Amino acid sequence: MRKRLSFDTFLEGILAGDRVVLSQAITLVESALDSDQELSARLVQDLLPHTGKSIRIGITGVPGVGKSTFIEAFGSWLLNQGKRVAVLAVDPSSQLTKGSILGDKTRMEKLSSDKRAFIRPSPSGSTLGGVSGKTRESILLCEAAGFDVILVETVGVGQSETAVKNMVDFFLLLMLSGAGDELQGIKKGIMEMADLLVINKADGENLDAAKKAKANYQNALHLFPEAEKSWYPQVLLASSLTGFGLEQIWENLQEYEQRMKASGFWDSNRASQRLTWLEDQVQYLLGQVFLKNSQVRQKLETEKPKAKSGELNPRILAQQLIDLFLSKS
C-alpha cells in the first residue's frame, strides 16, 4: 500500500509542477474517506492564492464526434505555442460495477507523454450526468501546478454539460457533418450554452459536407436570442488529422477572453460559479450527514421495500426521514 504523502509534500510538489504529486492530490480529492476529504479541503484552501490564472475550457459533443482526438491535436498545438495543458477527461462509470473505462489517457498517447501536459481520466461515479463531483477542485489543483489551459472533456451530450458550464470560462461544442439532418442531432439547450461550435473532421471528402453543415448551424444560431454577455458564437471548421482550423479556434478563444475581461463578465462569471460550488457542497455534505444518521438509516431500510413496491409514496417517506433527522438533531 502506497504511503500517503504529507500535507507539506503535497503543497510543495503541486507548486513545483510535479505531475506525480498532482495526480496523487487529485486521487486524494476524489477519495470518499473522511480523513482524505479533510486533508484535500485544507490543501485546496492553501492553494487558492495560486489559482485562477488559466483559461478553463469545456469540450463536449455527441459520441463519435472525435473529442479525444481533437483534444490531443488541440492540446499538442497549444504546447507548440508554449502553453502548459491539463486535460480532465471524465469517463463513464458503470452503475452496476462502479467501474470506469478510463480510456482517454491511452487514446492521447502523444499528449500524455509530454511533460508539459497532464491528463487525468476520472471515473464519474454516480454524479449527475457523468461529471465528476470533484472536477472543480481538480481544476484548481492543475492551476496551482502552473497549467495555462485546462480542458474539461465531458462524457457526452446530456445533463453533464450544464454542470461543466458552471465550472469553465468557455464552452466548446464539437459537431459532425454528413450524419443526416445535423440540426436534429443536438439539443437546443446545448447549442445555447456553447460559446463556439466546431465542425470536426473537416478534411478530405468530408470537407464539402462540413462547409454545408457550417452554413446550417450559422443559420440556426441566428434564431437564438442574444446572450447576456453580448457574444455571438461562431461556427468554425477543424481537422484533428491535419491541424486545419486549430489556430483559428485559439484566436476565437483569445478574443472571447479579452472581451469578457474588458466587460467584467469574466470575473463576475467566476464569482457566480464559486457560489454554485458552495451550494453544491452544502447539498452534498448535508446528504452525507443525513445518511450517516443511524436512525435515518434504520427507518430507510425498514420502509424502503414499501416505496419499492409502490405501497408508499417516496415523497412521503423522504419527508418522514427528514422529520426524524431533525427531531433527533
- pLDDT at residue 221, rounded to an integer: 81
CA dihedral 239, 242, 245, 249 (to 10 degrees): 80
Indicate the pairing of strand 149-153 with strand 117-123.
unpaired
- pLDDT at residue 70, rounded to an integer: 95
Give the DSSP H or E segment for 55: strand 55-61
- pLDDT at residue 164, rounded to an integer: 86
Rounded to whole angstroms, how far apart are CA atoms 108 and 248? 22
CA distances from 59 to 107, 113, 123, 137, 260 (A): 16, 21, 17, 18, 19
Rounded to whole angstroms, how far apart are CA atoms 313 and 215? 50
DSSP-H helix ranges across 54-125: 67-80, 104-107, 109-112
Topology match between the domains 1-50 and 51-263: no
Cβ atoms of residues 302 and 321 within 8 Å: no
Cβ atoms of residues 142 and 150 within 8 Å: yes
Cβ atoms of residues 170 and 160 within 8 Å: no
Between CA 190 and CA 108, with CA 196 as vertex, the angle to 5 degrees is 90
- pLDDT at residue 94, rounded to an integer: 40
- pLDDT at residue 156, rounded to an integer: 58
Cα-atom radius of gyration of the chain, to the nearest Å? 22
Indicate the pairing of strand 149-153 with strand 85-91.
parallel
Residue 2 dihedral angles phi and psi, to the nearest 5°: -70, 135
Please enumerate in sequence order all residues whose Cβ is within 8 A of that of 105, keeping only pairs 6 or more positions apart, or say none. Answer: 89, 112, 119, 121
- pLDDT at residue 110, rounded to an integer: 84
The CATH code of domain 1-50 reads 1.20.5.170
Q: How far is CA 240 from the centre of its chain?
A: 21
Sequence spans of domains, the chain: 1-50, 51-263, 278-328
**Grid coordinates representing 11?**
503543497
Helix (H, G, I), strand (E, B) or coil at 204: helix
Rounded to whole angstroms, how far apart are CA atoms 314 and 96? 23
Cβ atoms of residues 12 and 144 within 8 Å: no
The DSSP-derived string for 253-270 is HHHHHHHHHHHTHHHHHH
Beta partners for residue 237, in sequence order = 199
Cβ atoms of residues 190 and 77 within 8 Å: no
* Half-sphere exposure at residue 143, Cβ-oriented, CA atoms within 13 angstroms: 22
- pLDDT at residue 5, rounded to an integer: 92
Which CATH homologous superfamily contains domain 51-263?
Answer: P-loop containing nucleotide triphosphate hydrolases (3.40.50.300)
- pLDDT at residue 142, rounded to an integer: 98
Helix (H, G, I), strand (E, B) or coil at 292: helix
| Ordered mean pLDDT values, 10 residues apiece, the chain (329 residues) | 84 97 94 90 97 96 86 96 92 44 60 92 53 81 98 73 88 79 57 90 91 87 75 94 96 97 96 91 88 94 95 96 89
Beta partners for residue 55, in sequence order = 149
Rounded to whole angstroms, how far apart are CA atoms 146 and 85? 9
